[in-house]
């Protein structure tokens, strides 16, 4: 961990408030009182399962409108070892949506304020605070200690991708929060696999980015099937690099509750609450790739196909949602090169029905797509390709000087 240092900030009254960043005091606590405090969980899960929870290690990245509620419920439910990571400080606007925060916490690091309040409820908990941003440079240090789960409540897509990729590469279980902005129906919130997300702009951007890195499943996320009210957006939405939709505290808190419930029941091996199943069709992607490779070989004499199964899955699911660019939903879909003058790539491959693909193959090389399919179809395809190019540019790793 980063070395423990005191954090000094002005409190709401203008005085200096100090909080040492580090674990809670290790003095003994009356175990019978702890059991009494956790009596309801013990009755529900059993004493042995609650002991499992007490030995678990959790890291919560981001303790704002979702993460603070998650951390609060985890500690109240028996988690005794938790690390809170967030670079932010409590402001007046945070009081409407951050769990536990009061006016006395204004100017104090969010993680420190949350720790103070949680220790009042669960003085036996060991809570570590890190007033730092989760970056590539700090990730290894901030995630050290073999955590049982990492909880991602970050807003920035690329930061989420970097965190999830690191966890997947290092065998760390991770759960990620999707977008709660513009949503108001608590009955639509659930925990699903990343591959099963729909509608939400943040989950779509995250899913596309992860799929491009070869991660297309086995990442549980808290997600709402409610279509967000886009009339409320306060910034650019297409690339969705950060949250731009306003949120209701009642919804973000329930995102946090859903995460805490999932984590607790997973750690307690609660059989009635299964890990969400992925929604990935590897067999279909493999078949589409074989057909595409055959088509490329016959039409263009290509010895190898430049796309992989992962690429095909991304193009099929993310670019075209499995629909023909000419006729929409079809039972029998194929992938084809769009502009025969250009090489096969993410931004020159489209979905068509098998019959449409056969007719497309017969077109003369270099045919004008506007003449062949009309301005509307050509514009639709080109607009989607341009959007994909912008996304690729947005998520392209930055060169370090």
Whether 324 and 307 have beta carbons less than 8 Å apart is answered as no
Total residues found in the chain within this entry: 401
- Radius of gyration for the alpha carbons in the chain, expressed in angstroms and rounded: 25
Selection from 206, 197, 240, 216 nearest residue 314 by Cα: 216
pLDDT reported for residue 84: 98
pLDDT reported for residue 291: 94
Task: Characterize the bridge pairing of strands 81-85 and 57-61.
Answer: parallel
pLDDT reported for residue 11: 35
Task: Characterize the bridge pairing of strands 328-329 and 323-324.
Answer: antiparallel
pLDDT digit string (tens) for 339-377?
988 999 989 999 999 999 999 999 988 899 999 999 999
Average pLDDT over residues 186-192: 93
pTM, two decimals, is: 0.74
Confidence band of 27 (pLDDT split at 50, 70, 90): low
Confidence band of 230 (pLDDT split at 50, 70, 90): low
Selection from 341, 329, 346 nearest residue 384 by Cα: 346
pLDDT digit string (tens) for 41-83?
999 999 999 999 999 999 999 999 999 999 999 999 999 999 9
d(CA 286, CA 303): 18
| pLDDT exceeds cutoff 70 at 144 | yes
Of 29-38, 170-179, 209-218, 239-248, where does mean pLDDT reach its minimum?
239-248
Helical spans, DSSP H, in 213-365: 249-267, 282-300, 309-314, 354-361
pLDDT reported for residue 267: 95
pLDDT reported for residue 74: 97
Sign of the Cα pseudo-torsion (80, 70, 250, 269, in order): negative
pLDDT reported for residue 201: 75
| pLDDT exceeds cutoff 90 at 197 | no
Confidence band of 90 (pLDDT split at 50, 70, 90): very high
User: What is the share, in percent, of the chain residues with pLDDT greater than 90?
Assistant: 62
Selection from 305, 318, 315 nearest residue 335 by Cα: 315
How many C-beta atoms surround the C-beta of residue 23 within 10 A?
Answer: 16
89-124 burial, b for 16+ CB within 10 Å, e for fewer?
bbeeebeebbbbbeeebbbbbbbbbbbbbbbeebeb
281-310 burial, b for 16+ CB within 10 Å, e for fewer?
eeeebeebbebbbebbeeeeebeebebebb
Whether 171 and 149 have beta carbons less than 8 Å apart is answered as no
| E strand residue ranges, 145-224 | 149-152, 174-177, 189-193, 220-224
Q: What is the mean pLDDT of the chain?
A: 85
């Amino acid at each position: 961990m980063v070395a423990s240092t005191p954090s000094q900030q002005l409190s709401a009254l203008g005085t200096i408030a100090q909080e040492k960043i580090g674990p809670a005091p290790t003095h003994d606590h009356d175990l019978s009182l702890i059991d009494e405090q956790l009596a309801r969980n013990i009755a529900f899960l059993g004493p042995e399962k609650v002991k499992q929870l007490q030995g678990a290690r959790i890291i919560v990245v981001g303790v704002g409108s979702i993460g603070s509620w998650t951390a609060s419920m985890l500690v109240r439910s028996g988690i005794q070892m938790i690390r809170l990571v967030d670079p932010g400080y409590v402001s007046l606007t945070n009081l409407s949506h951050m769990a536990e925060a009061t006016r006395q916490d204004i100017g104090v690091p969010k993680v420190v304020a949350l720790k103070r309040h949680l220790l009042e409820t669960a003085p036996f908990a060991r809570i570590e605070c890190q007033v730092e941003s989760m970056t590539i440079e700090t990730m290894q240090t901030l995630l050290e200690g073999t955590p049982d789960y990492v909880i991602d409540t970050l807003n920035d897509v690329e930061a989420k991708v970097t965190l999830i990729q690191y966890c997947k590469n290092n065998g760390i279980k991770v759960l990620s929060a999707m977008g709660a902005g513009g949503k108001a129906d608590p009955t639509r919130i659930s925990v699903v696999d990343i591959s099963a997300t729909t509608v939400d702009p943040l989950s779509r951007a995250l899913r596309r980015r992860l799929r491009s890195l070869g991660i297309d499943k086995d990442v549980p996320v808290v997600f709402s099937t409610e279509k967000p009210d886009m009339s409320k957006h306060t910034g650019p939405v297409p690339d969705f690099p950060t949250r731009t939709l306003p949120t209701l505290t009642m919804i973000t808190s329930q995102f946090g509750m859903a995460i805490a419930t999932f984590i607790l029941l997973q750690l307690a091996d609660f059989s009635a609450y299964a890990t969400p199943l992925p929604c990935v069709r590897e067999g279909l992607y493999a078949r589409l790739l074989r057909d595409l490779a055959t088509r490329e070989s016959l039409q263009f004499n290509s010895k190898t196909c430049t796309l992989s199964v992962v690429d095909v899955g991304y193009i099929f699911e993310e670019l075209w949602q499995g629909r023909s660019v000419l006729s929409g939903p079809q039972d029998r879909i194929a992938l084809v090169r769009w502009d025969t003058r250009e090489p096969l790539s993410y931004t020159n491959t489209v979905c068509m029905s098998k019959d449409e693909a056969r007719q497309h193959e017969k077109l003369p090389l270099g045919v004008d797509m506007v003449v062949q399919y009309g301005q509307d179809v050509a514009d639709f395809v080109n607009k989607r390709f341009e959007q994909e190019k912008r996304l690729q540019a947005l998520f392209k790793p930055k060169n370090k000087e």
